[in-house]
Amino acid sequence: MDSAEFHAAVYETVRLIPAQKVTSYGHIAKLIGMPNHSRHVGQALKFLDPAADPPVPWYRVVSSSGAISSRGPGTNGARIQGDALTAEGVEVTVTPSGERKVDFSAFGWFPAPGTI
């Protein structure tokens, strides 16, 4: 599997995430058969064209702890993602330190590989 196929597989899988559900980078990696490439799932989403057609609901992908990565101070990516999820009806908790988190027990989507 080359880089282009990897990206395609990631986008394809992310589109399968139901509305009002979230999953993790690591689980996306498992679903496409590359459990050790969680970092590259993030890369694929990072390179994604926001105007892709059909759209890719990248905002439904968070870290394994349920937290939304900050992307560093000065960037508003985390806030955008949190807002997008909130707008869809997903409960996003904001910790005192400003961290946004999602409750997997209520909104998690983790199908076993091969069952989708």
Partner DNA sequence: CCCTTGACGAGCA
Partner DNA sequence: CTGCTCGCCAAGG
Angle ∠(19,21,23) on CA atoms, nearest 5? 130
| Minimum CB distance to DNA smaller for 21 or for 40 | 40
Least CB distance to DNA at residue 89 (A): 19
* 99 is a site residue for DNA (CB under 7 A): yes
Range 5-14 burial, b when 16+ CB lie within 10 A, else e: ebbebbbebb
46 near DNA, judged by CB under 7 A: yes
Q: How many C-beta neighbours within 10 Å does residue 21 have?
A: 18
Whether residue 54 is preceded by a cis peptide bond, meaning omega within 30 degrees of 0, is yes
Which of the residues 55 through 74 are near DNA (CB under 7 A)?
A: 58-59, 61, 63-65, 69, 71-72
82 lies in the site for DNA, by CB under 7 A: no
| Inter-residue contact 57 to 66 (CB < 8 Å) | no
Does residue number 76 form part of the binding site for DNA (CB under 7 A)?
no
Cβ-based burial of 20 (10 A; exposed 0-12, middle 13-18, buried ≥19): middle
Q: Which of 5, 33, 39, 76 binds DNA (CB under 7 A)?
A: 39
- Residues at the interface with DNA (CB under 7 A): 3, 24-27, 36-42, 45-46, 48, 58-59, 61, 63-65, 69, 71-72, 77, 81, 95, 97, 99
